[in-house]
Amino acid sequence: MSTHDERILFKNMEQPGYAGTLDDYRKVGGYTAFEKVLKEMKPSELIDLVKKSGLRGRGGAGFPTGMKWSFIPKDHPGPRYLCCNADESEPGTFKDRQLIENDPHQMLEGIGIASYAIGAHVAYVYIRGEFTLGAKIIQKALDAAYQASLFGKNIFGSGFDLEVVLHRGAGAYICGEETALLESIEGKRGKPRTKPPFPAIHGLYQEPTVVNNVETLANLPYIINRGPEWYASLGTAKSPGMRVFSISGHVKRPGNYEVPLGTTLREMIYGHAGGILKDKQLKAIIPGGASAAFLTAAHLDVRMDFESIAQAGSMLGSGGVTVMDEDTCMVWAAINLLEFFEHESCGKCTPCREGSSWLLKILRRIESGRGKMEDLDLLVTLSKRIEGMTVCAFGDAEIAPIISTLRHFKGEYEDHIRQQQCPFQSNVALVMSH
């Protein structure tokens, strides 16, 4: 594992006086990578270079970026599209928002590079509806880039044309799923598509499409300028590069931290985030956004890379690390997350649409002191009826808080039932009042 301390995506914004304008970005070498690939590289060479870097998607699944690009048919006679997923609606995750609001041009340059790689001449930035400021900043950055002829016709005299369109969502969590995002751009309700066919074959307007995350795309200019070997030397062998983690919850210094993949949870929480508030004991951690299974204090030395977190029983996901102290009720925490998922279910799949309501009803019953021991088996049975039974991964996401809290904190559920009340009742009431 690399012990690299240099920032990549945050380096510019950490400089005094850097405001993220086009002039600021070009002064630090911005758009030189885009010019380089257009003038010196074939798309196939660019794809091979990104494969060699080992860059993996930063949106959740961690799929190899260059490989994803290579799935686009090379002999397709019609248009191809690139979509930048700036929806970032995963609870506990706010990294893309900072990248967008403080240094938008690195994402835009990445869009140009990726579009050239797959032969797309139209790209969309799909941004979460609530990101009003981010949308204004991106549009202003786009206008400046067009005025400088960095987008549009015959970019850098290369003969390559690219139009970039900002598309604002309407606030639906499910539109972070790539096929629901495509449906939304097409003007339909944001509901996931059945796969196959996959977007690389039939995506936006049924044409070959690649959907990449903001952070993924923002890495591309640096990989081009500094080389794939440099990037692959960061992080771990199977999870190369740096990663931005959003740390929130009961920590002294919540915020976004850019660290090499493979950094331990202990270093993230007690080093970067300063430890637990009021020096209380750590109880639980969600390592990858609300969709990820809970981990415990016993997992502090687990490395934050795709393989290690999966081996520990969770996932790296969106990189949202939520920390909970010893006074947190795990039944309440599961309810809190399930209320979000139940509200955000698009309703397409019966197990997800109906199952979330039933699970929430049982959890609320337990939390209020009216639960029965058989409810614990019922929660597991219902969760198994949802797991793997939905078109997208939403169903698996909504049961993750329940299954993982039952796995690690079953005694707490039993205490609720035996005592006929929440043992942390005063703490939960305090949180709810705020």
Taking only the tens place, the pLDDT of each residue in 377-429 is 999 999 999 999 999 999 999 999 999 999 999 999 999 999 999 999 766 55
- Per-residue HEC secondary structure of 130-186 comes to CCHHHHHHHHHHHHHHHHCCCCECCHHHCCCCEEEEEEECCCCHHHHCHHHHHHHHC
306-310 long-range CB contacts below 8 Å, 24 or more apart? 306/56, 306/62, 306/238, 306/239, 306/261, 307/236, 307/238, 307/239, 308/262
> Helix-strand-coil percent breakdown of the chain, rounded to 5?
50, 15, 40
Instruction: Flag whether 3 is in a domain.
Output: no
How long, in residues, is the chain?
434
The alpha carbon dihedral of 326, 330, 331, 337 has a sign of: positive
User: In this structure, are 259 and 365 located in the same domain?
Assistant: no
User: In this structure, are 345 and 393 located in the same domain?
Assistant: yes
Instruction: Flag whether 226 is in a domain.
Output: yes
Taking only the tens place, the pLDDT of each residue in 33-80 is 999 999 999 999 999 999 999 999 998 888 999 999 999 998 999 999
Q: What is the model's pTM? A: 0.94
If one compares 312 and 6, the residue with the highest pLDDT of the two is: 312
User: In this structure, are 79 and 225 located in the same domain?
Assistant: yes
Over range 337-351, report the average pLDDT. Answer: 94
What's the rounded Cα separation, in Å, for the pair 339 and 343? 6
User: In this structure, are 135 and 149 located in the same domain?
Assistant: yes
User: In this structure, are 358 and 269 located in the same domain?
Assistant: no
User: In this structure, are 288 and 393 located in the same domain?
Assistant: no
Over range 100-116, report the average pLDDT. Answer: 98
**Domain encompassing residue 385:** 330-433
User: In this structure, are 315 and 379 located in the same domain?
Assistant: no
- Return the CATH number at 162: 3.40.50.11540
User: In this structure, are 194 and 280 located in the same domain?
Assistant: no
User: In this structure, are 107 and 228 located in the same domain?
Assistant: yes
Taking only the tens place, the pLDDT of each residue in 277-302 is 999 999 999 999 999 999 999 999 99
Instruction: Flag whether 13 is in a domain.
Output: no
- Return the CATH number at 383: 1.20.1440.230
Q: What one-character DSSP code corresponds to residue 197?
A: S
Helix (H, G, I), strand (E, B) or coil at 321: strand
User: In this structure, are 227 and 246 located in the same domain?
Assistant: no
- Return the CATH number at 265: 3.10.20.600
- Are 265 and 285 within 8 A, CB to CB? yes
Number of H helices, E strands in the chain: 17, 9
Q: Provide the domain count of the chain.
A: 3
Instruction: Flag whether 397 is in a domain.
Output: yes
